[in-house]
Structure 1
């Protein structure tokens, strides 16, 4: 039977299937208060025991919301009005949220894990062994367990959150982008861990990064932007049958990066740029200059830079494993993490400014910043007001303000969400809102901490196109990313951070291609002379 074929079940078979259904909703209607559009309108969806299902669709199509409905979090804990004719909630389930910070209820790693173990009745003498085993399962290597969760990188937090979920040994696992914040090795470790423990479990997965799981799931359910099911079946069938829709709605699929880079937009985004040879005078002064620079946390150095410079029009991809110090570098450049050594911002010595408040006031004049956790940036109760607040420093009429806010929301795929609370957005939408809030300020430097995580393909490429537009105007982009295609083909430079040190500074293929083009032009000229 083909994956898309259906069989009309007999009454006995239907009853048997009902007994095997672990999660179900029929004729679901849901919309957020104050909004006219439904997220789901008469959606019916069910999950059989033992199934491994991938929910795939554009950002904001309701995938994470569906997990919360199937688990009962909506409306029992999150008071969003819903209506349905039938609903089945698993008797034993665990949910891994998109944002690991929302998962924790204790301040230290061992206390967080102990909280779960105490609820399970595990004796104190067994706890240490259980903690070490589950942390090893998820690839989280810690020298000691009694350390603040806030001291971990977001990727390390994601592993800890997964570990706490696995400790409860749930029958059904709801996984909401568990690998979004992880480096490539971390993603591999997470999914290998899930494969090991998932044999007798039911998995409902929301994930944009599909490379590691495409041969693991047995069914893909494809949603359109309005939350309607376009189709479902085995992965190979869905990707073949709905290839046009995947492209139209900007959903990740195998080979999407290659297709994009060959498109007119991708070609423009990767056009070669010129790099200044070593020893040759640069046409402009550096915006940022670092020498013997160190960022400090809890009195210890977490990032060291012997020497580095950032010039107008640079697009620097900062790469390295989770916990290496990438986010700490950005935070120390903004002044949110104390620093030592020489730091010049447009020629002004930041190390001479002793008071952190004054240092931050100086840096924010030149630097726009996007946190890894987008919720750290939100200060307003509505999406519209979040952007409008960023414009308070500009003298604008109400008409001009409305126009600018509308333009930026449209540019970042947030039109129609003006009155929604930022916390009610999906993680991908939250991320785009945080980038939009920084972008509208028009700073000369943009520090972006994983701006594309949790994004569908369309919004990932839109963010990159915006960055390229800014770079071409002379804005310097410094982006922390785990996406190799960005680091190799779109950025102009790559900085590699390992073990709390900036160990590599190199040009990317984009710059190397320009050098190759120049050499070919010289050779061609020689042949035609």
Structure 2
């Protein structure tokens, strides 16, 4: 899978030509079929269950289609089949009665880091323009124009892509595909890592170039596109197609099905608030007695996190107490992830940093951040993985902690995987999971060992509604037990529902601290009894 992704990045950067003859290239006009597959059967090597069993889908040219379904149902895999990436680049055996692939297509991946084949922003965009034989003198104006269209306004274009936040990388990935001007756009959660303003900009950019083009979209957060797509294809958890029709028809006739399968739909947060107990997110036993709330578990004074020699995040003064739920908000690239990396001392820091009364930074001292007291969920879950199987990954921190037999470690790890709906995947390599499953595994590996503070960088991205709510409920259960939750999020609803405080970061500075909404008060579903977080 890792090697396949490297090939995918190269493939997407140029217009993908499929050898289907002049007759198909001539029928790409409105009303003709742009992409289709009939009786698709696909099963990943080593797996018993089929991802698809006799699935058929046909998309006319110029149509805008949303593929909607729960995490892990195969939406991204189907997009890769229709785009020709499977099996041309990603080697997965499949069968079908008939398939029609696009003559030219541009693909935006869930993980933007798999998209790029050049190290610098300008080189990545120039690579596309060179393939399209654009004159050198016209390249920079075109780069500026497309970056502005997706909301990525950079003073300097020759900067390393690795210095961009994941949200900024997502904008760059879309910009590179828009430069292709393909006949078919294949978009796999292109806005998952963006702030609300960024999501709006991304979809405005897609709308602006999509006239006459075919667009297939996989997306969980659909508010910005439900009034624009022509059609929704609704998938069941087993990869079969439940329904195919206009958005209004799907949301009216299948609302109960959407809720039962944990799929996002307009008004889903409101339904969750009103009917929390019916969402089957699971129940979690509070793991320990509440801690002393009087003293801060974490305090910062004149704290600075550095990238190179420049400040990436500055905090004049802030405190976190046991049982707090801190939601960190702000635009992409503001410094939210830099704050969490600095708290883990994965970036150089200055100023005063005290954790549980222990001075980690200040007065000439610098100590290692104690991993047994503070946990971290990276924004990119793959940065977190160190083991060869899902079970080993979950058990790793327990082995490092010590004090438990191998049997106890495996039992606790297996229980944690059940909690995060990852049972049955114990022997799979973490990199072979879907994006949503990787995200849940990264949360599980951090949560399996109870700590005083848990830092989470956008833990709900790539999740369907049920799993997003389940992660939120699990964090709420930890909070009630005394663990301090510090979560970076672009979801306004999380700040309103769960946060005791909201920290706003802009331009590399913590600019405001205000009370959160705390609508999850009381003895809700998260703290009553042992059970699964995800159904």
User: What TM-score range do you get, normalising by the shorter chain?
Assistant: 0.7 to 0.9
Structure 1 residues 70, 267: CA separation in 2 closer, same or farther (over 3 Å shift)?
Answer: closer
Contact 2:28/2:61, CA 8 A, preserved across alignment = no
Residue pair 1:34, 1:419 contacting (<8 A) in 2 also: no
Which of 470, 479, 484 is 2:492 aligned to?
484
Counterpart position of 2:264 = 252
The corresponding residue for 2:474 is 466
Match of 1:389 in 2: 396
Tell me which residue corresponds to 1:10. none
Please tell me whether the aligned partners of residues 422 and 437 of structure 2 are also in contact (alpha carbons under 8 angstroms). Answer: yes
Q: Which residue of 1 aligns with 2:329?
A: 319
**Distance between the aligned counterparts of 1:384 and 1:47, measured in 2?**
40
Distance in structure 2 (CA, Å) of the matches to 1:199 and 1:366: 53
- On the 8 A contact 2:293/2:323 being kept in 1, the answer is no
Equivalent residues in 2 for 1:171-320 (5 A)? 171-265=183-277, 283-320=293-330
CA-CA distance at 1:161 after TM superposition:
0.5
Q: 2:451 matched to 1:443? A: yes
Q: Following the alignment from structure 2 to structure 1, what is the Cα–Cα distance between the partners of residues 433 and 519?
A: 37
Aligned residue pair count: 485
After superposition, the C-alpha distances for 1:397-421 in whole angstroms (9 at most, x for unaligned) are 4443332222211211212222222
Quote how far apart the aligned CAs of 1:264 are: 4.0
Distance 2:246 2:165 in 1: 35
Give the C-alpha shift of residue 388 in structure 1: 2.1
- The answer on whether the counterparts of 1:52 and 1:204 sit within 8 Å (CA) in structure 2 is yes
TM-score by length of 2: 0.87
Relative distance call for 1:461 and 1:225 in structure 2 (3 A) is: same
Over 3 Å counting, the alpha-carbon distance change for 1:88 and 1:506 in structure 2 is same
Of 510, 513, 516 in structure 2, the residue corresponding to residue 505 of structure 1 is: 513
- What is the 5 A alignment of 1:111-122? 111-122=123-134
Q: Tell me the SS of whatever aligns to 2:486.
A: strand
Judging by fraction of residues, say which structure has more helix.
Answer: 1
Q: Report the TM-score when normalising by structure 1.
A: 0.88
| Structure 1 residues 40-81: Cα deviation after superposition (integer angstroms, max 9, x where no partner) | 111111211111000000000000111111111111111122
Q: 1:404 aligns to what SS in structure 2? A: helix
> 1:496: Cα distance to partner?
0.4
Q: 1:16 to 1:443 in 2, by over 3 A?
A: closer
Instruction: For residue 475 of structure 1, report the CA deviation from its aligned partner.
Output: 0.3
**Post-superposition, which runs of at least 4 consecutive aligned residues in structure 1 deviate over 3 A?**
15-19, 264-269, 352-356, 394-399, 511-514
Alignment partner of 1:79 is 2:87: no
Give the superposed CA RMSD.
Answer: 2.2
CA distance in 2, matches of 1:259, 1:503: 33
Q: Does 1:417 align with 2:425?
A: yes
Q: How far is the alpha carbon of 1:284 from its aligned partner?
A: 2.9
| SS in structure 2 of the partner of residue 391 of structure 1 | helix
* 1:8-53 deviation digits (Å, cap 9, x = unpaired): xxxxxxx999982221222211122211111111111121111100
The separation in 1 between residues aligned to 2:320 and 2:278, in whole angstroms, is: 25
Q: Secondary structure at the match of 1:287?
A: strand
Q: Summarize the Cα distance change of 1:479–1:165 in structure 2 as closer, same or farther, 3 Å threshold.
A: same
Match of 1:43 among 47, 55, 68: 55
Q: Deviations over 1:410-454 (max 9, x none)?
A: 211212222222222221111111101111121111100000011
Gaps of 5+ in 2: 1-26, 282-291, 523-535
Distance in 2 (CA, whole Å) between partners of 1:171 and 1:40 is: 26
Distance 1:511 1:257, change over 3 A: closer
Counterpart of 1:9? Answer: none
Judged with a 3 Å threshold, the aligned counterparts in structure 2 of structure 1 residues 327 and 37 are, in CA distance, closer, same or farther, namely same
- SS where residue 209 of structure 1 aligns? coil
Measured after TM superposition, the shift of residue 391 of structure 1 is 2.0
User: CA 1:16–1:192 in structure 2 vs 1: closer, same or farther (change >3 Å)?
Assistant: closer
Alpha carbons 1:335, 1:363 under 8 Å: kept = no
- Is the 8 Å Cα contact of residues 67 and 218 (structure 2) preserved in structure 1? yes
Question: Is contact 1:288–1:311 with CA below 8 Å preserved after alignment?
Answer: yes
Kept in 2: contact 1:489–1:509 (CA 8 A) = yes
**Higher mean C-alpha deviation, range 32-41 or range 330-339:** 32-41
Alpha carbons 2:279, 2:466 under 8 Å: kept? no
Partner of 1:6: none
Do the aligned partners of 1:56 and 1:208 also contact (CA within 8 Å) in 2?
yes
Map of 1:526 onto structure 2: none
Deviation of the 1:508 alpha carbon? 1.5
1:104 pairs with 2:116: yes
Change in 2 beyond 3 A, CA 1:511/1:416:
closer
CA distance in 2, matches of 1:419, 1:20: 44
**2:155 is aligned with 1:155:** no
Does residue 378 in structure 1 map to residue 385 in structure 2? yes
> How many Å apart are 1:100 and its aligned residue?
0.6
SS in 1 for 2:215: strand
Deviations 1:304-332 (A, max 9, x none): 10000011000000001111100000000
